[in-house]
Chains A and B, each alone.
Chain A
């Protein structure tokens, strides 16, 4: 393995027309980045990327095994380029790991913030991975127990609820779908968007700031991208 081979591997990715395995990996990485950015910029929790995450996590495990295996070999061999290769793989692993962690943490953050809302809505529960569901339920349990011990038990029974919506303001915090978001138009949009009586024709590459709920469906259809 020398530097030419490393370069060749990258060349193949961009030049070979058929869906080579490395191309698939790089597509997965692009999808992961997109899911990460969407999760970070949308006010609501999005669907967990089940299949994508499974492939990515599997690949991370494989790469880590590869590094381990070769680190042992490295000690015995004189080869210098294997060291370079490992540095590169380690860096790539770091990069992917960062995005994976940030993606998951962003989701946990939203799950913490909107726990009761998500807990009470069948539609929302479907967005969670099994691990996230378990996390949320456990977290809610602990929280309720803490509240009860700390002060709720000392209040009249009628004030014990944490999900009362009858007053002026609902106790359940839910995402603000009207929040403004930045988007980039990925392809010309055929049906104009109506904002306050005004029709807007969105063309490719244009950048807008507008209310999330107006473009929610277009984001899902991948006609516009959150920035």
Chain B
């Protein structure tokens, strides 16, 4: 994970759904309501880098309410399961991982999944993501090793790769091409 990694920065900018646990004055501009507060329970899509901080940032009440349960810490927002991990998508992945249009779903699906996995320790979900990546990576490699890579570029699957997969595809093509060039040199 590099500080200067552009893909990492773009992945951090992906928006995920959140719910505000309290009303916050002045944040209305987040939902095109400048000057107004964000009301408690409002659902909003926030970029991951912001959501991550707000979700773990404890709210310190101005006056220490003695009645308040000290164990009960509240945070600014709660994260809601994003659509790209909905059971509908997960089932589709399980049925045929090669048919998922990851590019449309989320161009940084795997990078975001890595962050999500470490945030929530969601073993089950990550196992599914791993299996999907493996299957798709093998398909990518199969395409790239023959003279098939142009086919992949023009195929439906080729347009449905997420950024991590595209990078892998590029690397696979280069490697196979280098060897072929050397053999015929």
Chain B residues within CB distance 8 Å of chain A: 1-4, 8, 49, 52
6 new A-B contacts at CB < 8 Å, known A168-B49, A168-B52, A169-B2? A169-B3, A169-B8, A170-B3, A171-B3, A172-B3, A173-B2
Chain A residues within CB distance 8 Å of chain B: 168-173
Q: Which residues of B sit under 8 angstroms from A168, Cβ to Cβ?
A: 49, 52
Q: Which residues of A sit under 8 angstroms from B3, Cβ to Cβ?
A: 169-173
A169, A170, A173 — which one has the most chain B CB atoms within 10 A of its CB?
Answer: A169
Q: Which residues of A sit under 8 angstroms from B49, Cβ to Cβ?
A: 168
Q: Which residues of B sit under 8 angstroms from A172, Cβ to Cβ?
A: 3
12 contacts between A and B (CB under 8 A): A168-B49, A168-B52, A169-B1, A169-B2, A169-B3, A169-B8, A170-B3, A171-B3, A172-B3, A173-B2, A173-B3, A173-B4
> What CA separation (Å) do A192 and B84 show in the bound complex?
41
Q: Which residues of B sit under 8 angstroms from A171, Cβ to Cβ?
A: 3
Q: Which residues of A sit under 8 angstroms from B2, Cβ to Cβ?
A: 169, 173
> What CA separation (Å) do A168 and B57 show in the bound complex?
13
> What CA separation (Å) do A169 and B4 show in the bound complex?
10
> What CA separation (Å) do A173 and B4 show in the bound complex?
9
B3, B49, B52 — which one has the most chain A CB atoms within 10 A of its CB?
Answer: B3
> What CA separation (Å) do A170 and B3 show in the bound complex?
6
> What CA separation (Å) do A169 and B1 show in the bound complex?
8
> What CA separation (Å) do A168 and B11 show in the bound complex?
14
The residue on B at minimum CB distance from A174 is B2
Q: Which residues of B sit under 8 angstroms from A170, Cβ to Cβ?
A: 3
The residue on B at minimum CB distance from A113 is B2
> What CA separation (Å) do A173 and B49 show in the bound complex?
20
Nearest CB on B from A209, distance (A): 14
In the A-B complex, the 3 residue pairs with the smallest Cβ-Cβ separation, listed nearest first, are: A171-B3, A169-B3, A173-B2
Q: Which residues of B sit under 8 angstroms from A169, Cβ to Cβ?
A: 1-3, 8
The residue on B at minimum CB distance from A167 is B3
> What CA separation (Å) do A172 and B4 show in the bound complex?
10
Nearest CB on B from A213, distance (A): 16
> What CA separation (Å) do A11 and B185 show in the bound complex?
33
Nearest CB on A from B142, distance (A): 19
> What CA separation (Å) do A168 and B119 show in the bound complex?
12
Q: Which residues of B sit under 8 angstroms from A173, Cβ to Cβ?
A: 2-4
The residue on A at minimum CB distance from B49 is A168
Nearest CB on B from A216, distance (A): 21
> What CA separation (Å) do A170 and B52 show in the bound complex?
16
> What CA separation (Å) do A84 and B65 show in the bound complex?
94
The residue on B at minimum CB distance from A162 is B3
> What CA separation (Å) do A173 and B8 show in the bound complex?
14
> What CA separation (Å) do A168 and B49 show in the bound complex?
9
> What CA separation (Å) do A168 and B2 show in the bound complex?
11
The residue on B at minimum CB distance from A165 is B3
The residue on A at minimum CB distance from B1 is A169
Nearest CB on B from A120, distance (A): 15
Q: Which residues of A sit under 8 angstroms from B4, Cβ to Cβ?
A: 173
